[in-house]
Structure 1
Amino acid sequence: MAQHDDFRGNVVLPRSRASLGHLLGGVLIGLVVISSLIGTLLLARPALDVEQPPVPEAPNAADGSTAR
């Protein structure tokens, strides 16, 4: 019987609930991450466009020809 005195079994103590501060902190971090991803996509959208506007033609003086 002496060997059963230190037997604890598989009893797990219940976890304590998160406080309001921890809960709000997690929500705030989630909102910051999501808003940064959305902001990144909005700022990168013009660079991801497939159609590029046509390049304006250079003036005559810039192409090396001399008009006399």
Structure 2
Amino acid sequence: MTYHDDFRSNVAVPRGRPSVARLLGGALVGLVAISGLIGALLLARPALDVEHRPVPEAPEAAEGH
């Protein structure tokens, strides 16, 4: 038995190129995440608007009637 038969390297074998399906899957996940953030921002926008908020009318009991 020689020295190189017992030697185990810790060097990993390089990976192959990712397939087209894997690239498209990653792009789809990124697109869904970005569109979710944009959708959440658009849905929250009316709640964050402070300029055009109507003043609530006081009930009659609070006015002292």
Q: Given the two structures, how large is their TM-score scaled by the length of structure 2?
A: 0.70
User: Which residue of 1 is the match for residue 55 of structure 2?
Assistant: 54
List runs of 5+ in structure 1 lacking aligned partners: none
Superposed CA offset, 1:10-42 (max 9, x none) = 332110211000100110110011001001001
Moved more, 2-11 or 44-53: 2-11
Aligned residue pairs total 60
How high is the sequence identity, in percent, across the aligned residues? 58
List runs of 5+ in structure 2 lacking aligned partners: none
Letter paired with 2:48: L
Structure having the higher Rg:
1
The structure in which a higher percent of residues are helix is 2
User: Which residue of 2 is the match for residue 7 of structure 1?
Assistant: 7
Moved over 3 A (4+): none
